[in-house]
Chains A and B, each alone.
Chain A
Amino acid sequence: MTALRLEGIVKSFGKVEVLHDIDLEVAEGEFIVFVGPSGCGKSTLLRVIAGLEDATAGIIEIAGERVNHVPPAKRGIAMVFQSYALYPHLTVRDNMALGLRQAGTPKPVIAERVAEATRILHLEPYLDRRPAELSGGQRQRVAIGRAIVRQPKLFLFDEPLSNLDAALRMNTRVELADLHRRLNATMIYVTHDQIEAMTLASRIVVLRDGRIEQIGTPMQLYNDPQSQFVAGFLGAPSMNFLPGGVLGKSAETAGIRPERLRVAPDGQLRARVHHVEHLGGDTNLLVDLADGHRLTLRLFGQHEHAVGEEIGVSYDEADVYLFDAAGRRLR
């Protein structure tokens, strides 16, 4: 069944149009990630789905029902915000219970659902504290708990991990993936971080300047990007782009992933090592070609290279992506 359907969504603020003609269908149980650079309209699209902003044009359907004029609380959604947005005057327990109370849910049901969310998120010790007495990670878990207790048809997350430090972000990412498996719920997740997108999504929606650039599973987008933008946005370090002529191509731009380049004395390209990054598991090599173009190589394992060293770089023709002047993929 379709959990969410968007058709021709347009959103303008005054004269500025920030979302242009967005079409999207999300099946039940999917984990959809909206990814794109800051300011491309991800949050705005999420707020339109939530009903916090009215769409200027287009149709929004949640679980088969048109909700354009339904207020946020009645759309069967729950939202988790980047800034947690907990009610500062309420305890953790009341923060989670408030939405259900507003909806007139019977008390025993509320207590049961809060207990369930508390158990899933390990919040037992904090139930009677106020948000000010919690750490960032704990606050984010309360915010997630507040979403869970509503048992929504659709979970909406707006960059929920951006305010957490790196270690906690990784843990919470795994917890979110677990949560998705366990609840088997439909989730829409906004992030500007391509690693979160790749690791969490069942399908990724790449947004650029208020348009959908490409939709697909993480591996589809990684292996078969339709544009230079998508190719450059997903994968870390990001894809190398060179003028086609450098690789002997007639296309405007040729792209090749850092992990597809190898150091080989008889490689097709000659380069000089500019900088070496030792990450333990891999080694990133930044090299300059004779004509000044810089390439990144991602080598697996540990490799010793001196800055200034002359090396050969080889690649397979099949790994080269070609793009025209407008950034479209040439096949």
Chain B
Amino acid sequence: MNKARRNPLNLFAAHAILLTWTVVALFPVFVILINSFKTRKAIFREPLALPDADSFSLIGYQTVLRQGDFFGYFQNSMIVTVASLFFILLFGAMAAFALSEYRFRGNTLMGLYLALGIMIPIRIGTVAILEMMVALDLVNTLAALILVYTAQGLPLAVFILSEFMRGVSDDLKNAGRIDGLSEYVIFFRLVLPLVRPAMATVAVFNMIPIWNDLWFPLILAPAEETKTLTLGSQVFIGQFVTDWNAVLSALSMAILPALILYVIFSRQLIRGITSGAVK
């Protein structure tokens, strides 16, 4: 270990900065959580106070669970997020493998075309997408959302994964070919495990925006049975009155699954982010 890192002053400064940042980042989450357990009056009287015997109330959670099909929304969000991530990773990795492994006419052009999607937001095409979904009779289905999110996530996924796949040893793939492994086995058994950190990175970067998205559920799948959690929570926010207890409770419950998925991916994610730096 080098000297600078052992120096107690530096150590202290580094921890102070990191702790400050952690507090700043966690503060809004903390406020949401404590206020979701308080009465409406208490929320407005002292928003930063912890719930006590006087102010404690589960009214928000009761409202959420009573009004609307909260578990249905929850399930919809989960299905859409997990399915989208699955397809983004599967098709992204396949396209990345083709681009990085095979020489064919138009390879570079195809890579550029796919990368273009990183710079152009998919929402520009909302009207066309809606028309397409109407024509396909997919409005008010979860499939519509999954398709759109998969398309939205693919460009970055292909970009990141093809960079990583170029780093996988050619010799290893060639050894597999000489041993008679098919290209599919080489892809799934040899290459994919070696780019797992990059896949986790892609998954995390895509997961939060999909989970939180309001735009496409509102436009493509606003029906009661296809509402996602974010859209479902909107019933508590009115133009004139907002049921803050319910909003805060819904938000608190919405954080959980994202948190769980994040914990699953994060170990790999950290390896993905630092792999270039420490290898």
Interface set of A (CB-CB < 8 Å, partner B): 13, 47, 50, 52, 71-74, 77-79, 81-89, 98-99, 102-103, 146, 158
A73 and B174 contact, CB distance less than 8 A: no
B181 and A79 contact, CB distance less than 8 A: no
Alpha-carbon gap, A77 to B174, bound state (A): 13
A73 and B180 contact, CB distance less than 8 A: yes
Alpha-carbon gap, A89 to B180, bound state (A): 17
- In order of increasing CB-CB distance, the 6 nearest A-B pairs are A73-B180, A99-B179, A102-B180, A85-B171, A81-B171, A85-B175
Which chain B residues in 163-220 approach chain A with CB under 8 Å?
A: 169, 171-172, 174-181, 189-190, 193-194
B177 and A52 contact, CB distance less than 8 A: yes
Taking A88-B194, A99-B178 as given, write out 20 further A-B residue pairs in contact, using a Cβ cutoff of 8 Å, ordered by the A residue number: A47-B174, A52-B177, A52-B178, A72-B178, A73-B179, A78-B178, A79-B178, A81-B174, A81-B175, A85-B169, A85-B172, A86-B175, A87-B172, A87-B175, A88-B193, A89-B189, A98-B179, A99-B180, A146-B175, A146-B179
Alpha-carbon gap, A12 to B175, bound state (A): 23
What A residues does B190 contact at CB under 8 A?
A: 87
B171 and A73 contact, CB distance less than 8 A: no
A89 and B193 contact, CB distance less than 8 A: yes
Alpha-carbon gap, A47 to B177, bound state (A): 12
Chain A's nearest CB lies how many Å from the CB of B203? 21
Chain B's nearest CB lies how many Å from the CB of A131? 10
A102 and B179 contact, CB distance less than 8 A: yes
What A residues does B189 contact at CB under 8 A?
A: 89
User: What range describes how many residues of B lie at the interface?
Assistant: 10 to 19
Alpha-carbon gap, A88 to B181, bound state (A): 15
Identify which of B103, B171, B177, B194 contacts A72 (C-beta below 8 A): B177
Alpha-carbon gap, A83 to B178, bound state (A): 15
Alpha-carbon gap, A73 to B171, bound state (A): 15
Alpha-carbon gap, A272 to B76, bound state (A): 88
A83 and B171 contact, CB distance less than 8 A: yes
What B residues does A146 contact at CB under 8 A?
A: 175, 179
What B residues does A88 contact at CB under 8 A?
A: 193-194
What A residues does B178 contact at CB under 8 A?
A: 50, 52, 72-73, 77-79, 99
Alpha-carbon gap, A103 to B180, bound state (A): 7
A79 and B174 contact, CB distance less than 8 A: yes
Alpha-carbon gap, A87 to B190, bound state (A): 7
Most buried by A among B169, B174, B177, B194: B174
Chain B's nearest CB lies how many Å from the CB of A150? 8
Chain A's nearest CB lies how many Å from the CB of B186? 10
Chain A's nearest CB lies how many Å from the CB of B39? 56
Alpha-carbon gap, A78 to B174, bound state (A): 11
Chain B's nearest CB lies how many Å from the CB of A319? 43
| Mask of B73-89 contacts with A, CB within 8 angstroms, 1/0 | 00000000000000000
Most buried by A among B179, B180, B194: B179
B182's closest neighbor in chain A, by CB? A102
What B residues does A85 contact at CB under 8 A?
A: 169, 171-172, 174-175
Alpha-carbon gap, A158 to B176, bound state (A): 16
Chain B's nearest CB lies how many Å from the CB of A174? 24
Alpha-carbon gap, A74 to B181, bound state (A): 11
What B residues does A87 contact at CB under 8 A?
A: 172, 175-176, 190
B194's closest neighbor in chain A, by CB? A88
A82 and B171 contact, CB distance less than 8 A: yes
Chain A's nearest CB lies how many Å from the CB of B187? 14
Alpha-carbon gap, A244 to B189, bound state (A): 61
What B residues does A158 contact at CB under 8 A?
A: 171
A73 and B177 contact, CB distance less than 8 A: yes
29 contacts between A and B (CB under 8 A): A13-B103, A50-B174, A71-B177, A71-B180, A72-B177, A72-B178, A73-B177, A73-B178, A79-B174, A79-B175, A81-B171, A81-B174, A81-B175, A83-B171, A83-B172, A85-B169, A85-B171, A85-B175, A87-B175, A87-B176, A89-B189, A89-B193, A98-B179, A98-B181, A99-B178, A99-B180, A102-B179, A102-B180, A103-B180
Alpha-carbon gap, A77 to B180, bound state (A): 11
Alpha-carbon gap, A89 to B181, bound state (A): 15
What B residues does A99 contact at CB under 8 A?
A: 178-180
What B residues does A50 contact at CB under 8 A?
A: 174, 178
B185's closest neighbor in chain A, by CB? A102
A77's closest neighbor in chain B, by CB? B178
A83 and B174 contact, CB distance less than 8 A: no
B174 and A52 contact, CB distance less than 8 A: yes
What A residues does B175 contact at CB under 8 A?
A: 79, 81, 85-87, 146
Chain A's nearest CB lies how many Å from the CB of B171? 4
Chain B's nearest CB lies how many Å from the CB of A98? 5
Identify which of A13, A72, A83 contacts B169 (C-beta below 8 A): A83
Most buried by B among A13, A50, A81, A103: A81
What A residues does B103 contact at CB under 8 A?
A: 13
What A residues does B171 contact at CB under 8 A?
A: 81-85, 158
